[in-house]
């Protein structure tokens, strides 16, 4: 079986070059072709000897993505990509434009096994984990459609990043490498539904990324109803892990909170959330929920603003997320699900 070279870090590419009897500068050239020029073919590496390109072709493979569908929002320029992997798995990624630049939201799994009820990604279950190279291929595909280049990365598409822990950490190492896109770690956001052991494990690495917790509830009863992971790790365990993470990394956490009418959007819920997060280095991001399958209704603008006001009065930093790409199925899993059904 050939080596997935796009998933290898620089030291691993160097080891291959050494094995083939090549000097270190060849490894640097190969690495830059992959991660700075985003080539999908050894043949294109025209500053390498033909003999080396042939050896690489025999030993390694570059697993790119095949674009199946590309939708561009007429409202805000958001671009949604549906892509197919080498083994025909479908994955999604989204290129989003903000005042500070363009960011890409990528998938970490084909499907998801977490089962969150408001998320279309979970409806067909987990097909498989994605490789580090498949993470990168999504970013490089979006890069070609960007105007000013990619300024930020969000691991918040299909899948649970911490359920694919090693590939996720390797991706962060590669995407921040000075010979690649060189994205600053502080411009990377990793979103998790709350895998407690992996949060502790991630904290020990002391990465300077932003950890975002998909919270969406202020007590176990509500969270268990909409997020099955809460039955395994209760809210107290999760918040304890978050406090450990903030202390260990000295990084502010983000709590993603999708306001859903008649479920988690009342003043009482806001007060409960403020109490839960008191004293924690954090920020709350209120999300206008995107109706993936029509089961949940978004809170009204008034409810959302009142919820934010309660948090502010209780010294919890809060913002209301701008909804992007509503006309191109930009919520994770929607476009993929449409092709699977």
CA-derived radius of gyration, the chain: 21
N- to C-terminal Cα distance for the chain? 32
Measured torsion, CA atoms of residues 243, 245, 250, 255, in degrees rounded to the nearest 10: -70
| CATH number at 3-61 | 1.10.150.530
pLDDT the model gives residue 337: 56
Active site residue 105: no
Compute φ and ψ for 269, nearest 5 degrees.
-65, -40
Query: Max Cα separation, the chain?
Result: 69
pLDDT the model gives residue 341: 43
The residue ranges of every structural domain in the chain are 3-61, 86-340
Pick the CATH number of 86-340 from 3.20.20.70, 1.10.1040.10, 3.40.80.10, 3.40.50.150: 3.20.20.70
* Alpha-carbon span 304 to 326, nearest angstrom: 18
CB-CB neighbours of 270 under 10 Å? 28
Active site residue 60: no
Compute φ and ψ for 176, nearest 5 degrees.
-95, 0
Residue whose tokens read 């080498």: 86
CB 212 within 8 A of CB 204: no
Given 11, 44, 92, 282, the catalytic residue: 92
pLDDT per residue of the chain (341 residues) written in tens, 0 to 9: 899 999 999 999 999 999 999 999 999 999 999 999 999 999 999 999 999 999 999 999 999 999 999 999 988 889 999 999 999 999 999 999 888 789 999 999 999 999 998 887 777 799 999 999 999 999 999 999 999 899 999 999 999 999 999 999 999 999 999 999 999 999 999 999 999 999 999 999 999 999 999 999 999 999 999 999 999 999 999 999 999 999 999 999 999 999 999 899 999 999 999 999 999 999 999 997 765 545 788 899 999 999 999 999 999 999 998 765 555 555 555 555 555 54
- Residue closest to 255 by CA, chosen among 299, 199, 205, 301: 199
Helix, strand, coil: what percent of the chain each, to 5?
A: 40, 20, 35
CB 289 within 8 A of CB 120: no
Given 112, 116, 193, 332, the catalytic residue: 332
pLDDT the model gives residue 333: 53
Measured torsion, CA atoms of residues 131, 132, 133, 136, in degrees rounded to the nearest 10: 130
pLDDT the model gives residue 31: 98
Distance of CA 58 to the CA centre of its chain: 32
Sheet strands (E) in the chain: 3-4, 60-61, 66-72, 79-84, 90-98, 101-106, 109-111, 126-129, 150-155, 188-192, 210-214, 253-259, 282-288, 318-320
CB 39 within 8 A of CB 62: yes
């Amino acid at each position: 079986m050939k080596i997935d070279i796009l998933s290898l870090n620089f030291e691993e590419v160097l080891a291959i070059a050494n094995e083939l009897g090549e000097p270190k500068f060849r490894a640097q050239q190969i690495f830059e072709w992959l991660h700075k020029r985003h080539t999908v073919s050894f043949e294109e590496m025209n500053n390498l000897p033909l003999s080396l390109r042939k050896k690489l072709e025999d030993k390694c493979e570059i697993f790119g993505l095949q674009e199946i569908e590309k939708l561009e929002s007429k409202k805000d320029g958001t671009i949604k990509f549906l892509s197919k992997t080498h083994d025909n798995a479908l994955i999604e990624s989204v290129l989003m434009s903000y005042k500070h630049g363009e960011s890409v939201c990528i998938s970490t799994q084909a499907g998801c096994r977490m089962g969150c009820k408001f998320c279309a990604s979970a409806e067909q279950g987990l097909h498989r984990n994605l490789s580090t190279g498949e993470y990168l291929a999504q970013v490089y595909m979006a890069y070609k459609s960007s105007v000013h280049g990619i300024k930020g990365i969000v691991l918040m598409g299909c899948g649970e990043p911490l359920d694919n822990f090693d590939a996720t950490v390797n991706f962060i190492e590669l995407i921040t490498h000075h010979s690649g896109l060189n994205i600053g770690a502080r411009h990377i956001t990793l979103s998790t539904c709350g895998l407690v052991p992996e949060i502790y494990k991630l904290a020990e690495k002391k990465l300077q990324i932003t950890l975002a917790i998909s919270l969406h509830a202020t007590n176990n009863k509500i969270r268990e109803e909409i997020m099955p992971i809460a039955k395994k790790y209760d809210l107290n365990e999760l918040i304890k892990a978050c406090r450990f993470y903030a202390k260990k990394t000295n990084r502010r956490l983000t709590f993603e909170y999708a306001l859903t009418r008649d479920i988690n959007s009342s003043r009482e819920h806001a007060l409960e959330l403020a109490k839960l997060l008191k004293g924690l280095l954090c920020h709350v991001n209120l999300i206008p929920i995107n109706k993936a399958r029509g089961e949940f209704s978004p809170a009204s603008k008034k409810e959302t603003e009142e919820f934010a006001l309660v948090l502010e009065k209780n010294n919890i930093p809060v913002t209301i997320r701008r909804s992007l790409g509503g006309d191109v199925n930009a919520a994770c899993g929607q476009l993929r699900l449409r092709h699977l059904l």
